[in-house]
Amino acid sequence: MFTGIITDIGTITELTPEGDLRARIRTGYDTGGIDLGASIASDGVCLTVVDLGPDWYEVQISAETVSKTNIAGWQTGARINLERALRVGDELGGHIVSGHVDGVAEVVSVTEEGDSTRVVLRAPQDLARFIAPKGSVALNGTSLTVNEVDGTDFGINFIPHTKVATTWGDVAVGDRVNLEIDTLARYVARLAEMPRE
């Protein structure tokens, strides 16, 4: 369980086909405080730590996860958003995020508006109905508020702090972004589909 508040920016240093895919990620986290088997959201994907070093951790990523996320496009040297799993008593600063990516959205426009950056993304058709104005989404693991929705397109504003504290300062048109819809929206939609007796 995560909140979508990014606490480090990692760098992918190795990608090795090993069964599925193994990735080594350099981090600023104190890896002495990370256990093998711990979950770390890496660009919004909940991944399990399988090895550790002084400033890195490694994860194994299944072919299923690669096919459903933007991990297929990961390259060595790329920067990714990181968040460690919640502990009892941690502040819930964003919204409840599972790290189970629902699909991949595409950045269709990037516009500077004052000090902020306005980004419009296109969601997959089957996920667009879960995205609502002023609702929450997790994009590459970052908890964000939706400004507006137009069909499958939705807009987000990134303030200067978010652009520095995450990888969103590097956003470009055409980027493929991990999208996790809000858990509450998923359950409300499911309830609405249930037949009434």
pLDDT tens digits, one per residue of 99-131 = 899 999 999 999 999 999 999 999 999 999 999
Greatest extent of the chain over all pairs of C-alpha atoms, in Å: 59
The per-residue pLDDT for range 58-100, each reduced to its tens digit, is 999 999 999 999 999 999 999 999 999 977 666 667 778 888 9
**What is the domain-level CATH number for residue 34?**
2.40.30.20
Residues 68 and 116 in one domain: no
Q: Compute φ and ψ for 42, nearest 5 degrees.
A: -115, 105
For 86, the token pair is: 């919640």
Alpha-helix residue ranges (DSSP H) falling in 80-173:
125-128, 160-165
Residues 111 and 173 in one domain: yes
User: What does the alpha-carbon distance between residue 35 and residue 48 come to, in Å, rounded to a whole number?
Assistant: 10
* Mean pLDDT, range 159-175, rounded to an integer: 97
For residue 175, is it within any domain? yes
CA distances from 56 to 49, 50, 65, 82 (A): 10, 11, 21, 12
Question: In the prediction, which pLDDT does 167 show?
Answer: 97
For residue 125, is it within any domain? yes
Range of the domain at 53: 8-84
For residue 95, is it within any domain? no
How many domains does the chain divide into? 2
Percent pLDDT > 70 in the chain is 96
Whether the CB-CB separation of 116 and 157 falls below 8 Å is answered with: yes
pTM of the predicted model over 0.75: yes
User: What does the alpha-carbon distance between residue 155 and residue 113 come to, in Å, rounded to a whole number?
Assistant: 13
Whether the CB-CB separation of 22 and 71 falls below 8 Å is answered with: no
Residues 33 and 115 in one domain: no
CA distances from 163 to 112, 140, 153, 170 (A): 12, 13, 21, 8
Which among 183, 6, 186, 174 is positioned nearest to 93, based on CA atoms?
Answer: 6
Of 53, 84, 115, which one is at a domain's C-terminal end?
A: 84
Of 20, 54, 84, which one is at a domain's C-terminal end?
A: 84
Residues 78 and 111 in one domain: no
